[in-house]
Amino acid sequence: MSILNILQHPDDRLHIPAKPVAHVGEVIRQLVADMAETMYSASGIGLAATQVNVSERVIVIDISDARDDLLVLINPEIQLKEGKVLFEEGCLSVPGVYDQVERSERIMVQALNTKDELINIEATGLLSVCIQHEIDHLDGKIFVEYLSRLKQDRIIKKLRKNQRGLDQREAT
C-alpha cells in the first residue's frame, strides 16, 4: 500500500468528472487500499478517487471513532433523497476550511463493493452527508462551490497564502 498525494483546491483536476469503473478487479482493489491508507493517514472520514487524481468512480469512507469500519462505494448511485439537513463540512482538498452546506437528510445508495457485488445502503446524518460530499467529488464538485462567491474568493486567498507559507518552510 502507499499514501497518495491529495490534490488541493484550487486545482482544475478536482473538477474533472470521473468515469464509471468498468471492471472491479485487482487494479481497483489496489486503488481502494491506497485510498484507504491515504484517508486514514490524513485523519479524514472520506476520500474520492478524484482527490488523488484518479478519474474513476471510487469512494472510501470511515465515520467510525475506532477507524475500523471502512465503507467502499464503487460506481455509487443515489436512488432516493429525503428531507434536508444543514451540516458543517470540511474536506481534505480544502484544508482548514469548514462551513455549513445543505444536503439531503436521508438517502438510499446503490453501489458495487470490492468483490463486485451490488450493495444497497440507507444512510442518514453524517454518513448521508459524507456520501453526498464524496459523490460530488466524483462529479467534479467541491463543497465550497455551495458557498457565496465572496466566501469562495476568501477561501482561495487563504489557501494560496497557506500554500506559499508551506513552500517557504520547505525551502529552508
Residues at the interface with Ni ion (CB under 5 A): 91
116 in Cβ contact with 97 (< 8 Å): no
Sheet holding 71-89, edge to edge: 46-48, 58-61, 71-89, 99-112, 118-124
Rg of the Cα atoms in the chain? 16
What's phi and psi for 109, nearest 5 deg?
A: -125, 135
| Residue closer to Ni ion, measured from CB, 104 or 170 | 104
Which of these is catalytic: 56, 134, 145, 170? 134
94 in Cβ contact with 147 (< 8 Å): no
Residue facing Ni ion at closest CB distance: 91
In the complex, what is the shortest distance from the CB of residue 137 to Ni ion, in angstroms, rounded to a whole number? 6
| Residue closer to Ni ion, measured from CB, 91 or 138 | 91
Residue 17 three-state SS: coil
CA dihedral sign, ordered 124, 129, 43, 2: positive
Q: Which three cell numbers stand for residue 1?
A: 500500500
Residue 25 three-state SS: coil
In the complex, what is the shortest distance from the CB of residue 170 to Ni ion, in angstroms, rounded to a whole number? 24
Does 134 participate in catalysis according to the annotation? yes
Place of cell 485523519: 43
Active site residues: 134
